[in-house]
Structure formats: structure tokens, C-alpha cells
Amino acid sequence: MASNPLRLVPEVGSEGAVNVVLEPAELIEVGRLVALGQLVPRLVHEVSNPLSGIVGLAQLLQHELEAGTRAQHRLQLIERSGLELREILRALRSLASRDNGALAVVSLARIASETVELVRLTNAGGAVELLLAEPVDEGLVYARPGHLRQLLAALLADAVRAVSEGGTIWITVEREGGQLALSVADTRLGGPAEGGMPLLAAERIASLYGGELVRRPRPSGGGSLASVLLPAA
């Protein structure tokens, strides 16, 4: 079956359009992601209102009960779960937002922390262990924060899918000369992944800011290492 060309027009960082040839299955995946991007903000809005009511009511009822009772403890669990769900919704709204933010100096370390926490909160990794290394510095780059969140989410989506039966994923932010490397390593079987929608998305976002995606085997222990190299601010 013939491939279908998809024409992508970068926002910043390069001139002209980029012609990308996608297979039919990949075009279907693009359509699914677009639909999800439109649905998530509405879903978050619809869920947030009743959730706020539940959390508020749980907090109010706790004050009407004697401290230390089983009923109060259960209300505390409801409140805690509601607050965790509110944080998940906030992160999803940010990730799915069409507003990627203005071009600015952004901390890769902060983006990594926020995005990894979202994956942990939603348990997207299942049996996968996520390890975020302590960065040496903030890792400042000039970019749109929304694009960087999407970039890391794409790298994590690829890694989680590859080790979904259990494994480890490492996320690091390191300085390499005049560049910063945002890397995701995993314990998948075989060598580094080739292609796929998540990696294609990460590669295109990196190219908007004069960066590149490098995929290679993990230096020790097997698995894959995907690094996005971006110019330091």
C-alpha cells in the first residue's frame, strides 16, 4: 500500500515546510491524537467542577466530626484522592493545551520534573519504574514550554510502550558543551527504537529549536537511549 505524505510546517527554528511520509496506520494515529487533544480540555473542565464540590464537602464534613474517628479518616482519604485527581487534571490540561506558551528561557529540569510526575500520577507506566536523576543545573533553553512538555511526553510514551511488561526508565538533563541533553533511557530488549509516532513527534519538536534527536543503545546493561540535544540559552 502506498504511503501518504503529510506536510508539516514548523513554527520556529527552520525555514520552509518539512515533508514527512507517514504510513496509513501512522496517519490514523495522528487523527486519534488530534481528537484526544480536542477532547481532553473539555473533559477536564467537566470533571473539575464536580470534583471541587466533592473535595470541598469532604473538608467541610471533617470539621463536623470528632477527630480520630473512622468516618473522619475516610473523609481524609476522599479529600486526598480528590486533590491528587485535581493535580492530574491540571497536568493533563497543561499537556493538552493548544497554547504552548510564549518563547522564553525555560528550565528543562522543571519540565522534566513536572512531566515525569504526571506519568507517575496517572500510573501510565504500570509496572515500569521511573527514575529522574537530580540535574546538575536548571538546564535553561529558549523554547515554548508546552512544546518541551510534549517532547518529553513523547519520549516517555515510546519508552513506556517498549517496557510495558516491567522495566526501568531513566530521565536525565545534562549539559554537553554548548548544548543540553534531555535523555530517556530504558531496559527494552534489543537496540534503540526506529521511527514511530512518539519519536517522530519528538524529533520534529526538537528541530523547531535547532535541536536533534539521537537514538542509540544504552551504554551499559542493554536497552535504548534517546537524547534530545538543544542549544543552551
Share of the chain above pLDDT 90, in %: 28
- Evaluate whether 200 touches 180 at the Cβ level (below 8 Å): no
Q: What is the Cα–Cα distance from 10 to 207, expressed in whole angstroms?
A: 8
Q: What is the mean predicted confidence (pLDDT) over 41-64?
A: 86
Residue type present at position 130: L
- Evaluate whether 6 touches 21 at the Cβ level (below 8 Å): yes
Q: Which helix (H) or strand (E) holds 107?
A: strand 104-107
CATH class of segment(s) 100-231? alpha beta
Task: Examine the pLDDT at 29 and tell me if it is beyond 70.
Answer: no
Task: Examine the pLDDT at 231 and tell me if it is beyond 90.
Answer: yes
Task: Examine the pLDDT at 7 and tell me if it is beyond 90.
Answer: no
Mean pLDDT over the full length of the chain: 80
Residue type present at position 233: A
Task: Examine the pLDDT at 117 and tell me if it is beyond 50.
Answer: yes
* Burial call 92-128: b when 16+ CB within 10 Å, e when fewer: bebbbbeebeeeeebbbbbbbebbbebbeeeebbeeb
Please tell me the least confidently modeled range out of 32-36, 205-209, 222-226.
32-36
Q: What is the pLDDT of residue 45?
A: 78
Residue spans of the domains in the chain: they are 38-96, 100-231
Task: Examine the pLDDT at 78 and tell me if it is beyond 90.
Answer: yes
Confidence band, pLDDT 50/70/90 cuts, at residue 23: low
Task: Examine the pLDDT at 116 and tell me if it is beyond 50.
Answer: yes
